[in-house]
Amino acid sequence: MDLLIILIYSGFCVLIFKLFRIPLNKWSVPTAILGGIALLGTMILLMNFNHPYGKFSKEVYAVVPVVPPVKGIVQTVEVKPNIPLKQGDILFTIDPKPYQLKVDELEATLMEAKQSAMQLGSQLEFAQAKVKQALAERDRTRTAYNRYRKGSKNNAAAFARQTVDDSRQMYLAAQANADAAQADLQRVTFAHESNIDGVNTQVVELQKKLESARYDLERTVVRAPSDGIATQIALKPGIMAVPLPLSPAMVFIPKQERVFAGSFWQNSLGMMKPGFETEMILDAVPGHVFKGEVISVLPAMSEGQYQASGQLLSANQISRHGRAIALIKVTEEDLEQYQLPLGVQGKMVIYSDQFTHVAVMRKVLLRMLGWLNYVFPVK
């Protein structure tokens, strides 16, 4: 761009010398050269600093990698490349049979658990009755044992030693049965009282497992996350889809506002503020200037970043020169009429509120670069 200014001035000087027949001598030529250096140098410095020029500019957009949520064989691919989609439209489907079988199995297990939970009340009553029966039997045998034992101490002939031992064993057996019945009652009581919001815990656990299985079954149908398009589709039926973040099945481009990013020298940061007017030329649209405004200036530059790792920060990384990145929104409504693909590139200029009269020269030069795009894009 600076070369264009010098060429314009040189052509202007040649025209003046020819038109007014100014002789080429030791006074006229140095005057034209020194005057040009002073004039153009001042104008270029003011223009470059106050109205920064982004030689490298490009449209930026976000993409969504579509990762299969569940593992399985791709059954169908419903989406067509580069066709606009609505949120919820089907992209592709995965064989649902393994997940349907899992749902059916859990539904049967849940039904069995519900029936068992309903029977816990009857089991509790039965266990309580068994405890009463066992305690009554224990008390009866204990009474008999005590009677035989006392009679034996009194040397009663009617109570032989064997009879006392038998009654004692019957009492101990009855006591063991009573303990077992009480333990079983405690078990049934715990099972009956193990509830979450009035629902048996085993039933709740199976309900959650069934809900998870149904969710996996639903996710065998992969849908568009938002309005947008899917492009460069290589997914075909029969491919094994695996839920690995590093291996997406396809790329989805959501519908979004078109934003352009420009790279600028850091000395221009003071003249790059949100709301400043911008102009941009695109290689794909020669001779046309798109107007817009600055949305924001990114608060960080990648050249200065580092992460926790086993390596020290290198001096080579510090020596890398970073550029400031500004995000630009094109305000012209005719951008869509050109049917430009996402990611087009060009050049842009930011016009600050300082030395606005110098901005005229920047506008002229930008348009001249736009005309050169008819021949070849200049970088």
User: What is the number of structural domains in the chain?
Assistant: 4
The structure tokens 């223009």 sit at: 47
Looking at every residue in the chain, the average pLDDT score rounds to 82
Q: What is the pLDDT of residue 202?
A: 74
In a domain, 113, yes or no: yes
pLDDT in tens, 4-21: 667 777 877 778 777 877
Whether 255 shows a pLDDT value over 80: the answer reads: yes
pLDDT band at 47 (very low <50, low <70, confident <90, very high): confident
Verify that 342 and 244 share a domain, yes or no. no
Q: What is the DSSP string of 117-168?
A: HHHHHHHHHHHHHHHHHHHHHHHHHHHHHHHHHHHHHTT-TTS-HHHHHHHH
Find all residues with CB under 8 Å of 173, minimum gap 6, and list them.
141
Pairwise CA distance, residues 124 & 192, whole Å: 8
Residue 355 CB contacts under 8 Å (≥ 6 apart), including other chains:
46, 47, 50, 51
In a domain, 4, yes or no: yes
Q: Is residue 310 part of a domain?
A: no
C-alpha span between 174 and 243 (Å, rounded) = 61
73 lies in some domain: yes
Residue 330, SS3 per DSSP: strand
My answer on whether 160 and 262 are in the same domain is no
Same domain? 248 vs 348: no
Tokens found for residue 195: 């509830």
Q: CA-to-CA distance for 35 and 46, rounded, in angstroms?
A: 17
User: What range does the domain containing 22 cover?
Assistant: 1-50
Spatial CB neighbours of 238, under 8 Å, sequence gap ≥ 6: 73, 74
Give the DSSP letter string of 5-16: HHHHHHHHHHHH
Higher pLDDT, 43 or 194: 43
Q: Who's near 373: CB < 8 A, 6+ residues apart? A: 281, 282, 283, 285, 286, 287
What pLDDT does residue 379 have? 65
First-to-last CA distance in the chain?
10
Q: Which of 29-43, 183-197, 285-299 has the lowest mean pLDDT?
A: 183-197
Q: Does residue 311 form part of some domain?
A: no
Q: Are residues 83 and 226 in the same domain?
A: yes
CA distance 231 to 83: 8
pTM across the whole model: 0.70
The gap from C-alpha 258 to its chain's centroid, in whole angstroms, comes to: 20
The residue whose two tokens read 């050249």 is 303
Same domain, 260 and 226: no
Looking at residue 85, the DSSP 8-state letter turns out to be B
- What tokens appear for 281 in the block? 């030329």
Q: Considering the domain boundaries, does residue 225 fall inside one?
A: yes
Per-residue b or e along 21-45, where b marks 16 or more CB atoms closer than 10 Å to that residue's CB: eeeeeeeeeeebeeebeeebeebbe
Are 252 and 224 spatial neighbours (Cβ–Cβ below 8 Å)?
Answer: yes
Regarding whether 145 and 57 lie in a shared domain, the answer is no
C-alpha span between 358 and 41 (Å, rounded): 13
User: Given 160, 194, 216, which residue is the final one in a domain?
Assistant: 216
pLDDT of 124 reads 61
Does any domain span residue 45? yes
Distance between alpha carbon 161 and the CA centroid of its chain, in Å?
A: 85
For residues 111 and 87, state if they share a domain.
no
Instruction: Let me know whether 8 and 24 are in one domain.
Output: yes
Higher model confidence: residue 67 or residue 376? 67
pLDDT at 321 exceeding the cut of 80: yes
CB 348 within 8 A of CB 54: yes
320 and 350 assigned to the same domain = yes
Pairing of strands 324-330, 90-94: unpaired
What CATH number does residue 76 fall under?
Answer: 2.40.50.100
Same domain flag for 329 and 224: no
Instruction: Tell me the two tokens of residue 168.
Output: 């004692």
What's the pLDDT tens digit per position in 184-227? 667 666 555 555 555 567 777 888 899 999 999 999 999 999 99
Q: Quick one: 88 and 227 in the same domain?
A: yes
Looking at the domain assignment, is residue 175 inside a domain? yes
Q: Are residues 357 and 284 in the same domain?
A: yes
